[in-house]
Amino acid sequence: MSEHVIHFIYLASTACFILSLKWLGAVPTAKRGVIVGTLGMALAIGGTLLEPTIENFRFIAAAVVVGTIIGVPMAMMPMTAVPQRTALSHAFGALAATLVGTAEYFLHAPHIARFTMGALAIEVILGGLTVTASLMAAGKLQEIIPTRAILFRGQHYLNLAVLGLAVLIGIYLVIDPGAWWLFPIMLGLCLVFGVLLIIPIGGADMPTVIALLNSYAGLAASMMGFVLNNKLLIVAGALDGSSGLILSIVMCKAMNRSMANVLFGGFGSASSAQGAGVKGEARALTPEDATLVLQAARSVVVIPGYGMAVAQAQHVVCELAELLEENGAEVKYAIHPVAGRMPGHMNVLLAEADVPYEQLVEMDDINPIMETVDVAIVIGANDVVNPAARTDESSPIYGMPIINADKARTVFVLKRSMASGFAGIDNPLFFNENTRMIFGDAKKTLQALISEFKNS
């Protein structure tokens, strides 16, 4: 196969990746972005298989079979598991970069150019820490390991020492690539650092952490492109890495926090999540009584959170919204940038339920009109509607922009119990005069509301 043909296929693949990122940035074109991104990856794989240096396809075929066996069940995971599935995908991508970098080093050491060795060291350092960090993030999201921030004395110094030693070894290997015995130590330190990086991060910061790990995995892949002299890997990894970094910055801005605070602040730890304490009496409401209020409402805002994902309630939310619209109410969905446990989590769930994208309103656009809203329905959200972020300087979320649900005329909060949210922070919204708690599984509660609405 002509080298020019392979280069043309790689160029077409790169164009697909760029267009995919552009189209994924808007709801109306997101489906097109997924299709074009998939096409780009197919072209990239096809172009690679045409490389004349490949002489034996048996191992490649075996890898395809193994990847398919792992990938298909992952793709069939429920929507509630998308965040941890995404974290696992980052782990697999980073593992590939780490293994390739390790193989390239032991195949060619000590005869490795300094530039190549520098790229290889960065690839292994970023890839190694991303593997264990992503696995830890997936474990926290799945609640296999404690979701709270785990802090101990001297933690930050230990983290910096482990990472710093790994970087110093990487620099030494650039100077002397033949010091092969240092390579496993560098790799081991990176794997340990990945664990240390995640344990002090609370559950509420997981969306930002996932985006950041996406960036690390992409940058590791880009460095792998320099090592293998593959221009497509360089470009694709750079696109992945830069988009993940930009998304992390956007999400930090949405929380009014710095990246350093997310990575080292211990947000959501037991010691810091107490705030000033919340006192009051919550007022419960039955679905029958709530239906009477909804029937009189002319403007309703739905504020979804992770509880909606757990209950798989997105379809019944859409059904209730249609009934409200038939009754003359205007329905909108207020989307907080960090609602759920991964970037865009709520958008994905609501899109699955065929909610019109015109009804999805970002936080900055919905807040100015919240005082005119008759009913705000909070479904499984906690931290993104917590007014302590505005009023309680002792709260760990103080200063974080929130959806001003408490300013609506009436607030319905659908929760299983009075338990705090994923960040472990109490919410004074639950005790407001205009708030009514509707306890129970969100899906069953919404189904009861729909039944009452139809029978009234």
| Residue 282 domain flag | no
Domain assignment of residue 315, given as a range? 287-455
Mean pLDDT across the chain: 87
Q: Are 160 and 98 in contact (CB under 8 A)?
A: no
C-alpha angle 389-203-443 in degrees, rounded to nearest 5: 85
335-373 pLDDT, tens per residue? 998 887 777 788 888 888 888 888 999 999 999 999 999
Phi, psi of 408 (to 5 degrees): -70, 160
Do 67 and 96 belong together in one domain? Answer: no
pTM metric for this prediction? 0.80
| Residue 246 domain flag | yes
Do 34 and 54 belong together in one domain? Answer: yes
Do 224 and 266 belong together in one domain? Answer: yes
Do 22 and 89 belong together in one domain? Answer: no
Do 63 and 103 belong together in one domain? Answer: no
Do 135 and 229 belong together in one domain? Answer: yes
Q: Are 215 and 242 in contact (CB under 8 A)?
A: yes
| Residue 277 domain flag | no
Query: What pLDDT does residue 438 have?
Result: 92
23-58 pLDDT, tens per residue? 987 777 888 999 999 999 999 999 988 888 887 888
Using a pLDDT cut of 90, give the percent of the chain over it: 48
Using a pLDDT cut of 70, give the percent of the chain over it: 93
392 noted as active-site residue: no
For residue 209, name the pLDDT band (cuts at 50, 70, 90). confident
Residue 99 has pLDDT above 60, yes or no: yes
Of the three residues 14, 42, 76, the one that is the final residue of a domain is: 76
Domains identified in the chain, total number = 3
Residue 64, phi-psi category: left (phi > 0), alpha (psi -120 to 50), beta (remainder)? alpha
Of the three residues 76, 102, 119, the one that is the final residue of a domain is: 76
Residue 154, phi-psi category: left (phi > 0), alpha (psi -120 to 50), beta (remainder)? left
CATH of residue 321's domain is: 3.40.50.1220
| Residue 280 domain flag | no
Do 225 and 321 belong together in one domain? Answer: no
Do 223 and 243 belong together in one domain? Answer: yes
Strands (E), 82-153: none
Tokens 């009109």 correspond to 369
Strand, helix or coil for residue 376: strand
Do 70 and 118 belong together in one domain? Answer: no
Q: Are 216 and 237 in contact (CB under 8 A)?
A: no
Query: What pLDDT does residue 269 have?
Result: 47
158-167 pLDDT, tens per residue? 999 999 999 9
Q: Are 126 and 167 in contact (CB under 8 A)?
A: no
Catalytic option among 205, 240, 383, 426: 383
